[in-house]
Amino acid sequence: DTLKRQREEEASATARRLAMETLGEDQERSPQGKRLKREELLKDMMPELKEKELQDKREARKLMAAQREADRDHMLAVAQAVSKSIVDLISLSKKG
């Protein structure tokens, strides 16, 4: 889960970086009209990229929360089993 989240964050950062590099390259070699259109397109893309990044983070947090809940449930089951074993041992020792 952590690796997946890191890969998603890296992909999002790479996409933003590529968008900004593309914007910079376009400014250097494009006529004014094309450059402005591309700037507008990239500006429009940035909120979408940021929203995607936020959504990825939310999904990663949900997965981590589910994993923590499963871990808690498992630990509770282990604790209950140990407690039952202790009670059984005490009962046996009192009978014996």
- Residue 18 makes CB contacts below 8 A (sequence gap 6+) with none
Tell me the longest C-alpha to C-alpha distance in the chain.
Answer: 95
List the structure tokens of 45.
């893309």
Cβ 23 vs Cβ 39: under 8 Å: yes
pLDDT digits (tens, 9 = 90+) for 26-59: 555 556 667 677 788 888 888 888 898 999 999 9
Half-sphere exposure of 66 (CA within 13 A, CB side): 7
Domain count, the chain: 1
What is the pLDDT averaged over residues 60-78?
A: 96
The residue range of the domain holding 68 is 2-95
> What's this model's pTM, rounded to 2 decimal places?
0.48
Tens of pLDDT, residues 6-27: 888 888 888 887 777 776 665 5
What pLDDT shows up at residue 32? 67
Tell me how far the alpha carbon of residue 96 is from its chain's centroid. 55
